[in-house]
Each structure stands twice: as structure tokens, then as C-alpha cells.
Structure 1
Amino acid sequence: MKLALDIGNTRIKWGLREKNTWLKQGDLLTENSHDLLHALIQTHSPQAVHLANVSHHDLTLLLTNISQQLSVPIQVLTGESALPPLVNLYYHPKQLGVDRWLSLFAARQFMTGPILVVNSGTATTIDALDSHNQFLGGVIIPGITMMEQALNLGTANINASQGHNVAWPRNSADALTRGAIEATIGAIKERYNEFRELVGLSTVTLVISGGNRSLLSSHLSLPHHVVDNLTLEGLGFHIDMCDSH
């Protein structure tokens, strides 16, 4: 049994993997998670830990120390990690967020052909994988909440609280919320159309994941698939790949 840990900016997703199957999954807040992570490893006594960490590098050091204390091997994945058959065309692969890389890897296990992968949480990433398994690149924009907060801080006389998603906002809080959603949807549609033209197809596969997946899915007119915890799924497939060798 192996433990997969996907450490994000806000939450940590974890799963216990054995024989190509999730035995158990859960999540916890990233902040003040030190004791909980120690307990997680100590309680389940995994054969190994597979870690993806896009932030909070102190937690990588912590988990490395915990693993050494408990004699549990740990593998820390990065944007440079080999995930065949994917080909990383990023100019500096070590700068690529491992969450993006693993999400592309997971998407390829689920689907064939050109894929556009959207991960929307604290930030929103939109990445393209062609039919030859080449990661062509992608964009990063602020997540929906981050957009709202940035406008709140940077714009005079708004000082809005959390708004509601309504079609025609009539107060500033609702206007920020709806604007952030529509800005994100607009970015996805633009990337989708550009990718479709690049590969010369009328449609490409669109995958939505991340904490805002349901919200975006409800507003997106393009055909798409919703996958929970795509980065964690990528870690699971990586464990399967390691076990098969």
C-alpha cells in the first residue's frame, strides 16, 4: 500500500493506493497540517510515500524527515519527473508546477487525442496536450476567489464581501463574483478555440478539475468532462507505473 499526497495552496488531498485501486481518500487544510501529516503516515504505515507539492516547501522537508524517522521511502515528484508517454516541451521543466504535469498525465490515462486540461483552485491553469503526448504549454490566471480579492484590494470604494453568482449583478459583491466566473470561462473558451485551430480539429477533449470544477462546469457551454482530484489521480497512476516495473 502506497500513500499519495497532493499538497496544494489551500488543501492537501491524500489517497492510499494498492493494486491500481484507491483504498481510501481524504483531504485536510494545508495550514497547520504538520501533526496531521505525521499521524497520517504513522497510522497507515504505507510502503512508500509519493509526494506532489506546489507550495509550502517546508512540508516537503517535514515529510522527508518523517519518512526517514519511520523508515518509509519517499518520492518527491516535480515538473521534471518522467511520466511516459508524456513529452514536456516547457522551456524550463523544473519551473512547471507538478500539479499541472500530473494532471496532464492523469488526463492521458483517461482519454485519447488532444486534451485541454483545466485545473481551477487557488489559481486556474489551462494546459494543452496534443495527440503525440506533447505538452504544448498553457496559461495561469488567478483563481475565482483570488480575482475577487485582488479587485477588492485594488479598487477604491468597493470593499465588497463575498458575492453571489447571479446573472445580472446589482451590487458590487455579486458583480465581482460573476465577473471572476465569466473571466475564467472566457479564458477557457479562448484557449479551447486556439488549441482546436492549432491541431486542426473541430473539437478537442476538455477536462475540468480542481475546487471550482462544479462551478465552472455549470457555466461552460463547451462539451467537457469533470474529474475530481486530477492531480491525485496522476499520483495514483504514477504509483501504478512504479509498481509495474
Structure 2
Amino acid sequence: MLLAIDMGNTQTALGLFDADELVRSWRMPTDRTFTADEIHVRLLGYLRMYGLTLECVDEIAFAGVVPQLTREWRAFAQRIAARSIAVGADTAAVTCIHAPHPEEVGADRIANAVAAEKLYGAPSIVVDFGTATNIDVVDSDGYYIGGAIAPGLRISMDALVARAARIASIPLETPPHAIGRTTEEAVQSGAVLGTAAMVEGLVSRIRAELGAPEARVIATGGLANIVADSTNVFDVVDGQLTLKGICEIARRMRDRVPHTA
């Protein structure tokens, strides 16, 4: 089976695939101090929760923004004799990117674009709610062509709490009104509804630039459901989109370069 890994700045998502089927998924903190030994122990624990063993993993595919952790995951893959693939320059032959500097495009954005085109068609727009709010655009030919990057919802909230002495930590929830009746509701309106309004505005502009008013819009990422409750701009909410894109890229690489033990 394939273990797909989406290493974000804050959280790491893991998905275990049997062919194209996602059979198990987990999330854990992205800790830059993790070694291959720590990864070994963590993964072994997750698998044992479902009666699985490391022997079921014969391939590991990464999309990561933390180079030192990618190295440790590669070392772990070598330890268990699993084939390893890192989304990026090594997989450029099976992904479609039209950008001035393709090497600068984040691996998670490449995976999102691949999954969006395969599962939901082109043109399409992916909004990924993580540490940053990334908007990834796939044109009518199925190519990733760029997008937008904004501070993430939780980063914005954390910065507000840190800088505003009288605002305590407030839960990230959709408020009942745009006009907040209390301080908590007012902050939630600004953060959650404000993020939704930003996405609506950017999606409208992107659709206009694409000349594709019906381009599908897919939400993903750890905070997608919170914002999706506040807007009707999304056609689909797929929390596992990035993992599915990683799986698809690995499949394309496997078909292109036969694996030999």
C-alpha cells in the first residue's frame, strides 16, 4: 500500500491508500525535531490502532514544505525498504505546470492541482485552508498556472490575540450574524466571515481572468469546513484532496518508471 504524506508547517496529514482508495488517514503535529526513529514509533502506533503493520507499506510519497523532515521520512522509507517519491522536481514529468519558476511551486499546491483536475475537471480553483490560505488555479487545459497566498485563518486569529490585550483566545466558529453582538461574535465575524468574503472576492476575480465563470471551486485543508459553513462559493469540500493528489502523482510515476526491488 501507499502512504501519502502532506507535510504542512503546522500539521502533517497521512493517508494510507490501497490502489486509489484511501483506507485510513491521520493527522499529527509537524515537529521539525522528529527523527526517523520518532517517525517509526509514531507510524507504528497509528497502524496498530487498526490492526495493521509496517509490512503493508511498500511505497511512501511526500509533499512537504519542511526539507529536514523530508530527509527523515526518506531515511525511514529506506529503513523499511519502501520506495519513496517526493513531489516536486523529481515528478515534473507527470505534472502539468505553467509558471515562470516551476521549481518555486509548493509540492502541496502541485498535488492539489493534480487532484482537482483528475477528480473535478478543469478549469478549477482549489482553496486550501492551512497555515496559509492558498488558492491554486488550474486552467482549462489542466495546467496549474498560479494563484494566491494569504495568511491563514488561525495565524490571523493568533496575531490578533497576541496584539490586542483585551481580546482573549476565541474559538474559530461561524458567528450567527455578520454584525457581532458581542466581542467574541465580532472577532468571529471578522475572522471567519472575513476569510469567506476574501475567498469569494478572489474566486470572482480569478473566474473573470480565466474567462470561466463556471470554474469549479474546491475547499480543502484543516479549516475548510469552518469557512465552508459561511459561504456558498464552494462546489465541493474535500478534506483529503492533497493526499489524493499525492497518490495520483505516485501512481503516474509508478506507471512511468517500473519499480524493481
TM-score when scaled to structure 1? 0.87
Instruction: Please give the secondary structure, in 1, of the residue aligned with 2:229.
Output: helix
Cα distance in 1 for residues equivalent to 2:18 and 2:253: 12
Q: How many residues align?
A: 242
Give aligned-pair identity as a percent: 25
Instruction: Please give the secondary structure, in 1, of the residue aligned with 2:128.
Output: strand
2:129 to 120, 123, 126: 120
Gaps of 5+ in 1: none
Equivalent residue, structure 1, for 2:13: 13
Cα distance in 2 for residues equivalent to 1:52 and 1:77: 5
Q: How does 1:1-245 map to 2 (within 5 A)?
A: 1-31=1-31, 34=35, 35=37, 37-39=39-41, 40=43, 43-45=53-55, 46-55=57-66, 57-78=67-88, 81-82=91-92, 84=94, 86-89=96-99, 91-155=100-164, 157-163=165-171, 165-166=174-175, 167=177, 168-245=179-256
Q: Tell whether the 8 Å contact from 2:228 to 2:234 is kept in structure 1 after alignment.
A: no
Compared CA separation, residues 65 and 205, structure 1 to 2 (3 A): same
Deviations 1:139-176 (A, max 9, x none): 11111111111122234x43322145422323434322
Instruction: Please give the secondary structure, in 1, of the residue aligned with 2:140.
Output: coil
Gaps of 5+ in 2: 48-52, 257-261
Compared CA separation, residues 97 and 158, structure 1 to 2 (3 A): farther
Report how far residue 83 of structure 1 moved: 6.1
Instruction: Please give the secondary structure, in 2, of the residue aligned with 1:214.
Output: helix
Q: Tell whether the 8 Å contact from 1:80 to 1:93 is kept in structure 2 after alignment.
A: no
Deviations 1:185-206 (A, max 9, x none): 1221122211221232332211
TM-score when scaled to structure 2? 0.82
Cα distance in 2 for residues equivalent to 1:181 and 1:200: 28
Instruction: Please give the secondary structure, in 2, of the residue aligned with 1:87.
Output: coil
Instruction: Please give the secondary structure, in 1, of the residue aligned with 2:186.
Output: helix
Compared CA separation, residues 134 and 238, structure 1 to 2 (3 A): closer
Amino acid at match of 1:146: I
Report how far residue 108 of structure 1 moved: 0.6
Report how far residue 226 of structure 1 moved: 0.7
Amino acid at match of 1:237: E
Cα distance in 2 for residues equivalent to 1:30 and 1:47: 23
Report how far residue 17 of structure 1 moved: 2.3
Deviations 1:82-120 (A, max 9, x none): 26452231x222222211110111011112231111000
Q: Which moved more, 1:65-74 or 1:200-209?
A: 65-74
